[in-house]
Amino acid sequence: MILMTLLYILVFSIVLLVFSIRILREYDRGVVFTLGRFTGVKGPGLIILIPIVQQMVKVDLRTIVLDVPTQDVISHDNVSVHVNAVVYFRVLDPEKAIIQVEHFYDATSQLAQTTLRSVLGQHELDEMLSERERLNTDIQEILDKQTDAWGIKISNVEIKHIDLDENMVRAIAKQAEAERQRRAKVIHAQGELQSSEALLQAANILSKNPQSMQLRYLQTLNDISGEKTNSLVFPFPFEFMKMFKSKNI
């Protein structure tokens, strides 16, 4: 009888010891409550708890990758787009993450969704497509400020995809094509302007020096003579006759 009692005591002690021991990894922390009251954060390593009296909530301190579901966003210029993003965050203060908010992962996810819609809705479509880095920074700063009370640090936010309706894609393609044509016309006009200015400058220089005009005329004749043709008609300016007479050529 005594042997059986000792055996029961031994088994009870082993079971009690098993339920009392916790082993936390390097990236884990244990938020300990004693009779419902917070009594400290423990870990990593071997942790001994008093069964029934103490409970522990384990918190992972590694960076968590949060995939923000696709959100329907209406831009400032009334364009409907579908946007999804990814948020990188980690717990800095396990006590706040457990006590200050219920299910900090879900709370961060919901906050990220509402912030994504709110921030992008203040910008036009062109800004969403061309200034993604700035928008990432704005969202990250807003989230980080709001989650600071939860002991959470938002390290990075990345907008992954901005999807448009097919009609809007075609409209943007037409707009881009029109913009390319406009730039081509502007460049062509600038080239014509520069060319005309150069010709005007050359004409002014040649008009001040008749010998230069004569040399230019002879050079043109030489260029045309190289053409493979049976007949060649080239006008002879009357001014050159006066020039030759004045020079007695």
Domain count, the chain: 2
Please indicate, yes or no, whether residues 69 and 145 belong to a single structural domain of this protein.
yes
Confidence band of 107 (pLDDT split at 50, 70, 90)? very high
Mean pLDDT of 64-87: 91
Please indicate, yes or no, whether residues 139 and 152 belong to a single structural domain of this protein.
yes
Distance CA 209, CA 51 (A): 111
Please indicate, yes or no, whether residues 88 and 27 belong to a single structural domain of this protein.
no
Please indicate, yes or no, whether residues 75 and 141 belong to a single structural domain of this protein.
yes
Q: Which residue has the tokens 């021991």?
A: 21
> Looking at residue 245, what is its pLDDT?
53
> Looking at residue 17, what is its pLDDT?
76
Please indicate, yes or no, whether residues 159 and 96 belong to a single structural domain of this protein.
yes
pLDDT higher than threshold 60 for residue 242 = no
Q: Nearest 5 degrees, angle CA 96-CA 100-CA 102?
A: 115
Residue-range definition of the domain harbouring residue 17 = 2-60
CATH number, domain with residue 81: 3.30.479.30
Please indicate, yes or no, whether residues 91 and 142 belong to a single structural domain of this protein.
yes
Please indicate, yes or no, whether residues 89 and 73 belong to a single structural domain of this protein.
yes
Please indicate, yes or no, whether residues 136 and 73 belong to a single structural domain of this protein.
yes
Closest CA relative to residue 83, chosen from 94, 72, 99: 72
Look at residues 166, 193, 208 and tell me which one is the last residue of a structural domain. Answer: 166
